[in-house]
Amino acid sequence: MNLTSSKHDMDFLRTLTVLYAEDDEEVREALAHYLRRRFAKVEVATNGREGLAAFKAQPADVVITDIKMPEMDGLEMAKAIKALAADVPVIVITAYNEIDYFVRAIEIGVDRYVKKPVNPEELIDAIGKGTQTRFQERELERANRQLLESMQHTIAALARAIEMRDPYTDGHQKRVSQLAVEIAKDLGLSEQQITGIRLGGLIHDIGKISVPLELLTTPRKLTATEFDLIKIHARAGGDILGDIQFPWPIAQMVVQHHERLDGSGYPAGLKGEDILPEAKIIMVADVTEAMSAHRPYRAALGPDKAIQELRAGRGIMYDADAVDACLRVLERGDFTL
Ligand SMILES: [Fe+2]
Ligand SMILES: [Fe+2]
């Protein structure tokens, strides 16, 4: 593959910074002029010592160097730069009669050679090849980022779908997600886990789509049988999401958000360590938000009642660390009930 052939690759080269060392002023000015039109930044040096100092001050993405230069030759500079940053590609410009230098160059780990007089296209090609790994890494990162973004958008769309159908819990999932994220941050969870919790929280009640709407909106207290029907939503949520391969355990978070540490929850009656840490956090956020908010069948119980419930269930039904973190979050005002 010729890396310099496609427009995209040229765009990539345009993001790179170059350090170019050459003692011959005429050659240096001409090539630097050419390079400046193709790269983000081109730093020039008139000898190896200058080049090394420039690299130390501001490491370049690519180093291009002549060999024979006063004060410090190109290979000595290359060696020092490789010791500082082994993965920075170094391209050496050589003349045929500099063949003795090749052994040294190989030892140093010089990446590519371009013959004198320099054919600029050949040089660009060498830079393209020298930076291929970095180019592929950036492409992979970009693809991953896109994938994560589309997953997040898909989850947000699912969240909107459930909230459009059931206006009484409108905003509930969003608020549970926000509170759960604050709890997770307080507990010092990783960025990756926090993202998972944010997304899991956003759709934790997605299974309510399978519950008759009258039950979700009825303005009276539910019978035990009706309440059993509502309970289906936890398992149903897991079924809806089960086959999607998210980089986070979203389906388990959703299925487990009504489990309780003492096994009194549903759908599986899981206990303690069998419950996912993320689900333990979402459950605390869910209980807190649900109790303090208005429901069709009852008025809001208020923040005090929610906090009372958390304290009473701490370490029994709800994870003690998650409860403590939730209380700290509320105390600090990072989330308002
Ligand atoms: Fe729920
Ligand atoms: Fe909920």
CATH at residue 151: 1.10.3210.10
H-type alpha helices, 38-73: 48-57
Torsion of Cα atoms, 172 then 178 then 180 then 183, to 10°: -140
Ligand 2 (ion): residues with CB under 5 Å are 205, 286
Strand pairing category for 62-66 and 112-115: unpaired
Cα of 209 vs centre of ligand 1, distance in Å, is 11
> 162 and 212 share a domain?
yes
Which ligand is nearest the CA of 169, by number?
2
Q: What is the domain count for the chain?
A: 2
* C-alpha 255 – ligand 1 centre gap (Å): 9
Cis peptide before 117 (omega within 30 of 0): yes
Q: How far does residue 204's CA lie from ligand 1's centre (Å)? A: 6
Is 194 in the same domain as 290? yes
- 203 Cα: distance to centroid of ligand 1 (angstroms): 9
Choosing from 79, 82, 129, 208, the catalytic residue is 208
Is 208 a known active-site residue? yes
For the entire predicted model, the pTM comes to 0.70
| Ligand closest to the CA atom of residue 211 | 1
For residue 211, tell me if it sits in a domain.
yes
Residue 113 structural domain:
7-130
Each residue's pLDDT tens digit in the chain (337 positions)?
444 445 557 788 898 999 999 999 999 999 999 999 999 999 999 999 999 999 999 999 999 999 989 999 999 999 999 999 988 999 999 876 667 777 788 888 888 888 888 888 889 988 888 888 888 888 899 898 998 899 889 998 888 888 788 866 668 899 999 999 999 999 999 999 999 999 999 999 999 989 888 888 888 888 999 989 999 999 999 999 988 888 899 999 999 999 999 999 999 999 999 999 999 999 999 999 998 887 766 777 778 888 999 999 999 999 999 999 999 999 999 998 8
**Beta-carbon count within 10 A of 143 CB:** 10
Distance 111 CA to ligand 1 centre (A): 58
Does residue 140 lie within any of the structural domains? no
Inside any domain, residue 325 = yes
56 and 159 housed in the same domain: no
Which of 104, 130, 156 represents a domain boundary (last residue)?
A: 130
Residues 75 and 125 in one domain: yes
Asked if 104 and 199 sit in the same domain, the reply is no
